[in-house]
Amino acid sequence: MRLVALSREAVAQNLEHGLTLADARARVPNLVAMERDMVADADWLERLADFCDRYTPLVALDEEDGLIMDITGCAHLFGGEAALRDDLTQRLTHAGMSLVSALAGTPDAARALARFGGGAIVTAGEEPDAVAPLSVDALDMGHETARALSRAGLATIGDLAARPRAPLAARFGQALPAKLARLLGEEDISITPRRPLPPCTVERRFGEPIGREEDVMATLAHLMGEAGTMLEARGEGGRAFELSLFRTDGAVRRLRVETSLALRQAGPIVRLFQDRIDTLADPLDPGFGYDLIRLAVLVSAPFEQPQVSLDGHQAALADIAALIDRLTTRLGREAVLRFVASDTHIPERAVYMVPAKDYEDARKAQGDDAEEKSWPAPLPGDPPSRPIHLFEHPQPIEAVAEIPDGPPLKFRWRRVLHEVARAEGPERIAPEWWQQDTPLPTRDYYRVEDADGRRFWLFREGLYQRETNQPSWFVHGVFA
Nearest CB to other proteins, comparing residues 156 and 344: 344
- Closest approach of Cβ 110 to other proteins, in Å? 49
Apex 119 CA angle, 118 and 121, nearest 5:
150
The reply to whether 280 sits near other proteins by the rule CB under 8 A is no
Choose one: 7-15, 53-61, 218-226, 343-351; the region binding other proteins (CB under 8 A): 343-351
The continuous run of DSSP H or E covering 66 comes out as strand 66-69
Q: How far is the CB of 472 from other proteins (least distance, A)?
A: 19
User: Which residue, 47 or 389, has its beta carbon nearer to other proteins?
Assistant: 389
**CA pair distance 138, 323, nearest whole angstrom:** 57
Burial of residue 72, with CB atoms counted within 10 A of its CB: 0-12 exposed, 13-18 middle, 19 or more buried? exposed
What Cα–Cα distance (Å) separates residue 369 from each residue in 339, 341, 343, 348, 350? Answer: 15, 10, 10, 20, 15
Give the residue, chosen from 1, 316, 365, 417, that forms a contact with other proteins under the rule CB under 8 A.
316
Which element (helix H / strand E) includes 68? strand 66-69
Note whether 321 and 301 are within 8 A (CB).
no
Distances (CA, A) of 252 to 42, 132, 389: 16, 39, 45
78 binds other proteins (CB under 8 A): no
Give the Cα separation of 75 and 73 in Å (integer).
6
CA geometry: angle 401, 403, 407, nearest 5 deg: 50
Residue 317 within binding range of other proteins, rule CB under 8 A: yes
Q: How far is the CB of 391 from other proteins (least distance, A)?
A: 4
DSSP 416: E
End-to-end CA distance of the chain: 69
Residue selected from 165, 222, 271, 386 as contacting other proteins according to rule CB under 8 A: 386
Q: Considering the complex, what minimum distance in angstroms separates the CB of residue 451 from other proteins?
A: 5
334 makes contact with other proteins (CB under 8 A): yes
Question: Smallest distance, Å, CB 384 to other proteins?
Answer: 4
Which of 154, 336, 399, 401 is the binder for other proteins (CB under 8 A)?
336
Q: For the chain, what is the radius of gyration of the CA atoms?
A: 33
CA–CA separation, 80 and 86 (whole Å): 10
Does residue number 382 form part of the binding site for other proteins (CB under 8 A)?
yes
Buried b (16+ CB within 10 A) or exposed e, 150-163: eeeebebbebbbee
- The residue type at 162: A
Burial 450-476 (b: 16+ CB within 10 A, else e): beeeebbbbbbbbbbeeeeeebebbbb
Which residue, 185 or 408, is less far from other proteins as judged by CB?
408
Residue with smaller CB distance to other proteins, 392 or 437: 392
Instruction: Give the interface segment with other proteins, choosing from 25-33, 164-172, 181-189, 315-323 (CB under 8 A).
Output: 315-323
478 within 8 A of 387, measured Cβ to Cβ: yes
Minimum CB separation of residue 304 from other proteins in Å reads 17
Q: Which is closer to other proteins, CB of 257 or CB of 350?
A: 350
Residues in 402-421 at the binding interface with other proteins, rule: CB under 8 A: 416, 419, 421
Of 55-63, 113-121, 369-377, 437-445, the segment contacting other proteins by CB under 8 A is 369-377
Strand bridging mode 455-461 / 236-247: unpaired
Nearer to other proteins, 44 or 339 (CB): 339
Closest separation between CB of residue 144 and other proteins, Å?
58
CA-CA distances (angstroms) from residue 313 to 241, 306, 310, 319, 337? 27, 10, 8, 10, 22
Interface with other proteins includes 478 (CB under 8 A)?
Answer: yes
Residue 334 or 437 with smaller CB distance to other proteins = 334
Minimum distance from CB of 376 to other proteins (Å)?
7
401 binding other proteins? (CB under 8 A): no
Torsion sign across C-alpha atoms 94, 95, 97, 103: negative
**Looking at 91-99, 218-226, 242-250, 323-331, which segment touches other proteins (CB under 8 A)?**
323-331
Using CB under 8 A, which residues numbered 421 to 460 contact other proteins?
421-424, 447-449, 451-455
Candidates 390, 397, 429, 463: give the one binding other proteins (CB under 8 A): 390
Q: How far is the CB of 306 from other proteins (least distance, A)?
A: 13
Residue 323 within binding range of other proteins, rule CB under 8 A: yes
Q: Which residues of 309-333 are buried (b: 16+ CB within 10 A; e: fewer)?
A: eeeeeeeeeeeebbebbbebbeeee
Considering only 391, 405, 440, 464, the residue that binds other proteins (CB under 8 A) is 391
Per CB under 8 A, does 80 bind other proteins?
A: no
Is 21 or 353 the residue whose CB approaches other proteins more closely?
353
> Which positions lie near other proteins, rule CB under 8 A?
315-317, 319-320, 323-324, 326-327, 330-331, 334-339, 341, 347, 350-351, 353, 356, 375-378, 380-392, 416, 419, 421-424, 447-449, 451-455, 477-480
